[in-house]
Structure 1
Amino acid sequence: MTPLTKDLNPNASEPDEVSQMTRVTRGTGARILRLIAVIAMVLGVGFVLVSRGKNAAEARLADATSKDEAEAPAVDVFTVGRSLGKQPLKLPGETAAWNETAIYARVNGYVTKWFVDIGDNVTAGQTLAIIDTPELDAELLAAKAKLNASIAQVAVKQARADFAATTDERWRESPKGVVSDQERESKKAGSAEAIAELNAARAQVMLEQADIDRLSALTQFKEVKAPFDGTIVQRHIDIGNLVTAGSAANTTSLYQLSQNNPMRIFVHAPQSVAAQLMRPGATAVITSSSQPNLHIEGKVARTAKAIDPGSRTIRVEIDIPNPDRSLVPGMYVQADFELTGGASIQIPAAALLYRSGGPQVAVVDETGAVAFRDVMIASDDGNVVAIDSDLAVGDKIALNLSSQIAAGEKVKTSSGDTKSASVQ
């Protein structure tokens, strides 16, 4: 191509550039195809390897499963031993005050002062409040005035009786014929009447004095006093409150007083331990989850000696000292008993099987064969169960046995027998 031609056609070099770009594009596509082929080959090899590994794992698992199925299942066993004759028992309880009373007013009036509030410790005879009693004071003054009037009447009647007696004496000693017999009888009757009126006046004086003594006794209740040593747990009065005597349903008490030393613990024991175990004198240790350091020992003081038909329990009362008043009425506590005279055989609760025929245990013989025995539960403490019969010392019983194991099937026992410290 001549320069002239090149000048006349400036785009004469474009076919060469297009052909060069086509060659580059064709080379890039070939490389991509080769890369895709390599990736496909790698994925294929990986898939083959994974499949072979999975098949090998499944084969090994099948072999292990068949071997496990051929072997007897392993179970833990417990060897039955003789109990020491002591049975631990933990029961919930509730604290109650030794004495607790509501203090009511004995007179009508108004509260002028109160001296103690809730939480205060008081002693027997201590004044808690003072009540102003204007009506009672007026009644007492009126009664004293009536007494003075009655005493004056006695003096009048005494004078009349003395005069009637002397008159009767003069007329009785008069000679016959001077006075008539009728007049003598009349004077005698007048003397007897005067004496009777004197006795009536004296009786009225005694009656008025008794009324004064009654009102005077009521005035002593102006001061509300504590009947025993204790702690004020409620106060329902304030200065100026009108109080009414009595303890009717619509009458509010002034104070609630509680004696907290010693304390009573009420426990509801199950029927299984009511007759032979929960006798007065049994030792109990009182603890509380809210007070980790609380550890007070007490004794069973008394029982209800009757089973509650609703809960089939017997109410047991434990007396414990409480000098530091760490316990207050209404607390939830735990009572730990160590009872004697229980069943001679005790086993872990994990050994029990509850089936349609009742509670059972699985006894494992020397060959590993399982046999089920019906048992009778004497008492149940949650972790430990006392058995009355059908088990002997030395029997090996399975723990937590699967429900799929049938009678006569053999099991493999653990290397060492399980022992429970609470059963020993």
Structure 2
Amino acid sequence: MPADPPLPNDEQPPKKMLDYDFRTGSRMSIFALVLAGVLVAGFFYVNAERHYKTNKLAATTREEMSRPPPVDVVLAKSSPLTHRLVLPGETAAWHDSKIYARVNGYVKKWLVDIGDPVSEGQVLALIETPELDAQLQAARAKLSAAEAEVNVKQAKDDFAKSTYERWRSSPQGVVSDQERESKKAAAIAAESELVAAKAQVTLDKADVDRLTSLTEFKQVKAPFGGTIVERDIDLGDLVTAGSGSGTSALFRVVQSRPMRVFVDVPQSAADRLLTDAPEADIAVGGDASRHYEGKVSRTSRAIDPRSRTLRVEIDIANAASRLVPGLYVEAKFSLKNAIGVQVPAAALSFRPAPQVAVVDNKNVVEFRDVKIGVDDGNVVQIESGLKEGERVALNLSSQIVSGMTIEAHDLDTSPRNDKES
């Protein structure tokens, strides 16, 4: 019998791979179960770890909250007999003058420049004054004319007086009374004209003297010995007499020996400066080698209502002329202290009055009202309300109240009794 024809590909019987597919599926299932177990175990482990840390943090927080708050504590110490007060100041010249022109004209020549030392009366500049010269010449001519007029009036007065004398001495009946009175009036008029002419001469002479004195200001002179610090003119500049808003100074001269130092003292220290007039140590720009001794020479004796400060003036000899006007300096004063104790400024609190927190032997806080004395920013003197050796707390928070127990950290256990700072 002939062989059967082959079947199509899609009708071919499947190959025997059932054993292989079964083994692969089993492996995949086992892997999925293991992975799921690992994920579940990890989930429970993470939750357990988180729960443990949360409970530990809560326990630590409860423990910290149950403990007394830590606070730094220091001892109140006796105030020194004196304390150092350091304030900013500014140097100023003993004399400081701006020199203006006294006449109108043009700058012919200037003879000194900035930085040049000058002596009193030294010529600083020359000014040409053509208008003033013409006025002086006209005034002198007018004076000459007035003096000539006096001579004419003098001759008329002499003639009128002699004529009146002749008519007055004439016998009765020779001249009439009317003519005699007329000659008398003419003599009086001539005398009056002479007086007026002499008065005019006096006026013209005064005008000449005024203009002559003004010509002396053609030379600009130094009013005192010092140093030229400004020169605001040059050759040919038009200058105007006076010191109004429309005019500028020709020179500025300062005298720096001795030197003034101006310091604004706070109201809290003003009383001691007014009564003690202490000496002052002046330091320039932090340079340890530039220190000058001075003394409070004068004060304004009034508190500035805007800044609540007292203007104090210190005089320094400045023999070597190392100090110049306008320097920033530090003035150091040694002031007497009132009897009391001192604590760091961090020990003060205001609730709302000034208070300090006193800590007893059992670390219990007690807020106590105090009276503040001198405050230099870092250390505050307490005049009343606190005793030497008592423990005071620093930097207390607003949550701490009287009667609360704290954990004291003593920063200084050795009381100090300074006599001078």
Q: Distance in 2 between matches of 1:415 and 1:260?
A: 49
How far the C-alpha of 1:397 sits from its partner, in A, is: 3.0
Q: Is contact 1:93–1:335 with CA below 8 Å preserved after alignment?
A: yes
Q: Tell me if 1:353 matches 2:351.
A: no
1:383 match: 378
1:249–1:313 Cα change, 3 Å: same
Matched, 1:78 2:111: no
* Deviation, structure 1 residue 355: 4.3
What is the CA–CA distance in structure 2 between the aligned matches of 1:181 and 1:385, rounded to whole Å?
107
Do the aligned partners of 1:351 and 1:362 also contact (CA within 8 Å) in 2?
Answer: no
Q: Deviations over 1:311-358 (max 9, x none)?
A: 222222222222222222222111111112x33224243452334434
Could you tell me which amino acid in structure 1 is paired with residue 347 of structure 2? Answer: L
SS of 1:129 mapped into structure 2: strand
Query: How much does 1:419 deviate?
Result: 4.3
SS of aligned partner of 1:253:
coil
Q: What is the deviation of 1:398?
A: 4.1
- Cα deviations by residue, 1:153-178 (Å, 9 ceiling, x for unpaired): 11111111111111111111111111
Over 3 Å counting, the alpha-carbon distance change for 1:74 and 1:379 in structure 2 is closer
Match of 2:109 among 103, 107, 113: 113
Cα distance in structure 1, aligned partners of 2:134 and 2:140: 10
Compute the displacement of 1:286 (Å): 1.1
**Separation of aligned partners in 2, 1:90 and 1:170:** 96
Match of 1:147 in 2: 143
| Residue 175 to residue 414, structure 1, CA distance change in 2 (3 Å) | closer
Aligned residues: 362
CA-to-aligned-CA distance 1:388-418 (integer Å, 9 cap, x gap): 2101233333455677765442525357326
| Aligned-partner residue type, residue 318 of structure 2 | N
- Residues 61-84 of structure 1: per-residue CA shift (max 9 Å, x gap): x99x989x9799584522422532
Is there any run of 5+ residues in structure 2 with no aligned partner, and where? 1-51
Deviates more, 1:318-327 or 1:343-352: 343-352
Report the AA paired with residue 105 of structure 1: A
2:71–2:396 Cα contact (<8 Å) kept: no
Structure 1 residues 221 and 291: alpha-carbon distance in aligned structure 2, compared to 1, 3 A threshold:
farther
Deviations 1:362-384 (A, max 9, x none): 32334444433222322211232
Post-superposition Cα deviations, 1:136-156, rounded to whole Å, max 9, x if no partner, equal 111111111111111111111
Partner of 1:372: 367
Counterpart CA distance in 1 for 2:191 and 2:340 is 91
1:362 aligns with 2:357: yes
Contact 2:281 2:291 (8 Å CA) reproduced: yes
SS at 1:169's partner residue? helix
1:175 matches 2:171:
yes
Q: What pairs up with 1:46-65 in 2 under 5 angstroms?
A: none
The match for 1:33 is none
> Superposition pairs for residues 3-402 of structure 1, below 5 Å?
75-84=72-81, 86-279=82-275, 281-340=277-336, 342-399=337-394
Q: Which residue of 2 aligns with 1:416?
A: 413
Query: Could you tell me whether the CA contact under 8 Å between 2:80 and 2:418 is conserved in 1?
Result: no
Equivalent AA in structure 1 for residue 175 of structure 2: V
Q: Matches of 1:347 and 1:253 in 2, distance apart?
A: 54
Counterpart-to-counterpart distance in 2, 1:283 and 1:407: 45
How many angstroms apart in 2 are the aligned matches of 1:150 and 1:415? 98
Q: Secondary structure at the match of 1:317?
A: strand
Alpha-carbon distance in 1 for matches of 2:330, 2:276: 18
> CA 1:421 to 1:289, structure 2 compared with 1: closer, same or farther past 3 Å?
farther
Contact 1:103/1:255 (<8 A) preserved: yes
SS at match of 1:284: strand
- For the residues of structure 2 that align with 1:389 and 1:237, how far apart are their CA atoms? 64
Secondary structure, in 3 states, of the residue corresponding to 2:242? coil
Cα 1:415–1:152 change in 2 (3 A) is: closer
2:28 paired residue number: none
SS in structure 2 of the partner of residue 256 of structure 1: strand
Cα distance in 2 for partners of 1:272, 1:350 equals: 16
The worse-fitting range, judged by mean Cα deviation, of 261-270 and 236-245 is 261-270
The answer to whether the Cα contact below 8 Å between 2:347 and 2:392 also exists between their aligned partners in 1 is: no
**TM-superposition CA deviations, 1:106-163 (whole Å, max 9, x none):** 0011111111111122111111100011111111111111111111111111111111
Give CA-to-partner distance per residue, 1:270-327, whole Å, 9 cap, x none.
Answer: 1212234444722221112253322112222222232222222222222222222222
The alpha-carbon distance between structure 1 residues 295 and 343, as it changes in their structure 2 partners (threshold 3 A), is same
8 Å CA contact 1:353, 1:359 repeated in 2: yes
Structure 1: give runs of 5+ residues left out of the alignment. Answer: 1-54
